[in-house]
Amino acid sequence: MGFAVSVLTIYPGMFPGPLGQALAGKALDEGIWSLETVDIRGFASDKHRSVDDTPAGGGPGMVMRADVLLSAIDATLAKAPGNRPLVHLTPRGKPLTQARLRDWQKGPGLVIVCGRFEGIDERVYRARPGEEISLGDFVLSGGEIAAMALLDGLVRLLPGVIGAESSLSEESFEQGLLEYPHYTRPRVVEGVEIPAVLQSGDHAAIAAWRRREAELITKARRPDLLARRKDDEAKP
């Protein structure tokens, strides 16, 4: 059995969407991973299939109901093979990282909850805590696009998805650095030539140049990564 993913959403028609194309789509067709969408509305008890209600205490918008969502989560987890981790996508969650994707990639799959409206009744998080994850310090209309981004990043790490798997080790964040610049033909574009070292055939010099450029870019754009890297290296 491949890497199994269940996505709980009120918009199942949004999937697979981009995940049905390119590398992720090819891997889906080949059975390297599987995608199940669970319609949360299917667990509503009223004729209108209501999944939301007004917020307690007043205020704008609507809140996803705990009773309906808990029923959907429980039904999905009950048939989830291999104790797949439960992930809640929410702006208040921990930032998604490459390291977290690599951890999940080693497991049997994921069960992902896509929130909507003003948010989810807090009792869902307390009763089925899982792991709260955010893509960054911004707000989306719902968790579906966040789920697609998370899964695109994760699926490409699965064995057999990328042909040259060695290329993954040189990508941004894998070594605690942003990736070095890339070039290809033609040799000159608008007066700018490919750096001479990349045309030298000297593999040691090329590796040193790429390392130096990665460090310079990271220092300029993400000094926090360098600081974190130094802390990790200092640990016994």
Given this model, what pLDDT does residue 163 score?
75
Coil, strand or helix at 129: coil
**Whole-number pLDDT of residue 207:** 95
- pLDDT reported for residue 169: 60
* Residue 109, phi then psi, degrees to nearest 5: 150, -165
Compute the distance between CA of residue 107 and CA of residue 28 in angstroms, rounded to an integer: 17
**CATH C-level class of 171-234:** mainly alpha
**In whole angstroms, what is the distance from residue 105 CA to residue 114 CA?**
20
Residue 166: predicted pLDDT: 58
Residue 111 pLDDT: 98
Say if residues 118 and 61 touch (Cβ distance below 8 Å).
Answer: yes
C-alpha–C-alpha distance, residues 112 and 53, integer Å: 22
Question: What superfamily in CATH does domain 3-155 come from?
Answer: SPOUT methyltransferase, trefoil knot domain (3.40.1280.10)
Write down the pLDDT at residue 232: 73
* Tokens read off for 40: 């949360």
Task: Give the distance, in angstroms, between the CA of residue 187 and the centroid of all CA atoms in the same chain.
Answer: 36
Burial of 204 (0-12, 13-18, 19+ CB in 10 A): exposed
Domain locations in the chain as residue ranges: 3-155, 171-234
pLDDT at 116: 94
pLDDT tens for the chain, residues 1 to 236:
689 999 999 999 999 999 999 999 999 999 999 999 999 999 999 889 999 999 999 999 999 999 999 999 999 999 876 789 999 999 999 999 999 999 999 999 999 999 999 999 999 999 999 999 999 999 999 999 999 999 999 999 999 999 766 566 666 577 889 999 999 999 999 999 999 999 999 999 999 999 999 999 999 999 999 888 877 776 76
Give the pLDDT of residue 53.
96
